[in-house]
Homo-oligomer: A and B are copies of this chain.
């Protein structure tokens, strides 16, 4: 079963979104045009547009309208990846060279800015001021999440609460907004808008926690980078935070690792996390969010879209890599 089989009735509409994406990054400036088209070709799951379209199905669905926020949310996601690659100094993403690696940091910075602006342009074409306000506020929060992540790197004194706040801003919010903006644009009943937002938020949380678990459990081949990269780079995720809280000697060892960078110690820490229940704990929390997401979706009207939302939630929170 592939992800796209879960919403096959959207196939034609998703193609329209691809066309819209290409049109949005079009420019008379060859370099930025090429960089944009390459980013689009590199793919990605287009999960945000899917949530926009599925949520819009609960209202007056008009693909000519709804494709605009759907493409805008994907563009914002793309732009943030381009900027992340600049600050992470990343050369590869999704098995391809990053804009930063292929061109340089300057081009990547302004390509990111250009794609952000393209997203806003597209949003400005739907005449719903509240949608703009929600999106702009969401973008502010996303930036704060990124800065928190940098700020809290290597901070072994942080608690689990900080992690949740961070992944909310970094990931869950944009998925929640995808559902909300899809609903607002197609004038979904206000009571359902709230449910769709909650659904997106919980799926987003489960998605990120799963991502953070896979960084420990998936193979290097599956991840496209060595397992344990988050820990190595000082990104303290739920499995680590749990293990630190339960086992002070683990925290001690982690502090020593960050001082010495000893690779043997890293290998030991990675084993500890698995042995001491960090993965199980994080999986439990992810399952709770998934359950909450499905509860929210279950209360929606019984339609194909609702079925798809439920299946997509299971798929992305339950994926093995």
Contacts and interface: CB of A to CB of B under 8 A. Distances in A.
Interface of A: 27-29, 31-32, 83, 86-87, 105-107, 109-111, 113-114, 116-118, 120-121, 123-125, 127, 129, 132-133, 135-137, 139-140, 142-144, 146-148, 150-151
Summarize A's interface: helix, strand, loop or mixed.
helix
A229 to B, nearest CB: 17
A5 to B, nearest CB: 35
A114 B87 contact: no
B31 A151 contact: yes
A140 B142 CA distance: 21
A27 B83 contact: no
A141 to B, nearest CB: 9
**Copies of this chain:** 2
Nearest to A76: B117
Contacts of A133: 121, 124-125
B124 A140 contact: no
A256 to B, nearest CB: 25
10 contacts: A31-B147, A83-B109, A86-B109, A106-B146, A110-B150, A113-B143, A117-B139, A120-B120, A120-B136, A125-B133
Nearest to A134: B124
B127 A29 contact: no
A150 B83 contact: no
A105 B93 CA distance: 20
Nearest to A153: B106
A107 B147 contact: yes
Given A120-B139, A129-B127, A27 B106 contact: no
Given A83-B110, A114-B140, 16 more contacts: A27-B144, A29-B144, A31-B151, A32-B144, A83-B109, A86-B105, A87-B110, A106-B147, A106-B150, A107-B147, A110-B146, A113-B116, A114-B143, A117-B136, A124-B136, A125-B133
